[in-house]
Amino acid sequence: MARTKGARTMSPQQNARYRAWRSMRMLRQFSVPDLMATAEIGQSNVGKYLQALNACGYLRIIKEKRDGSRGGHVRYMLIKNTGPNQPRCRSDGTLYDPNTGEVISYG
């Protein structure tokens, strides 16, 4: 079900990624479970979004995954905070950042 804000309709996925981007900007350092809890976003959705942002230079991995250990999730740091609007993944393998107007290929 799509939500309407003014004359613009946004899908739930866009809303979830907006919430994830907002959480990243507030937390600065985070893991997938952190974003799942704060942004109410699914693991698959946030994983794909983080892969794209990392490939485009928005994130830095500050702690590698440690299998089998408590808290063994990858930790990221947001290093390219361009503004309040979330960068958007496009179906052609590019990321569009509405804050800068930049389009970056990652796919």
DSSP state of 106: -
Q: Which two tokens stand for residue 44?
A: 């698959």
- The DSSP-derived string for 24-72 is HHHHSEE-HHHHHHHH---HHHHHHHHHHHHHTTSEEEEE---TTSTT-
In a domain, 1, yes or no: no
In a domain, 4, yes or no: no
Q: Residue 83: which CATH number? A: 1.10.10.10
| pLDDT value at residue 7 | 46
Each residue's pLDDT, cut to its tens digit, for the chain (107 residues) gives: 455 555 456 555 468 999 999 999 999 999 999 999 999 999 999 999 999 999 999 999 999 887 767 767 999 999 999 999 999 999 999 999 999 999 999 97
In a domain, 27, yes or no: yes
In a domain, 40, yes or no: yes
Q: Up-side HSE of residue 79: CA atoms within 13 Å toward CB? A: 13
How many domains is the chain built from? 1
SS3 94: strand
Range of the domain at 41: 9-105
Q: For the chain, what is the largest distance between any 2 Cα atoms, rounded to a whole number of angstroms? A: 48
In a domain, 3, yes or no: no
In a domain, 38, yes or no: yes
| pLDDT value at residue 67 | 74
In a domain, 2, yes or no: no
In a domain, 60, yes or no: yes
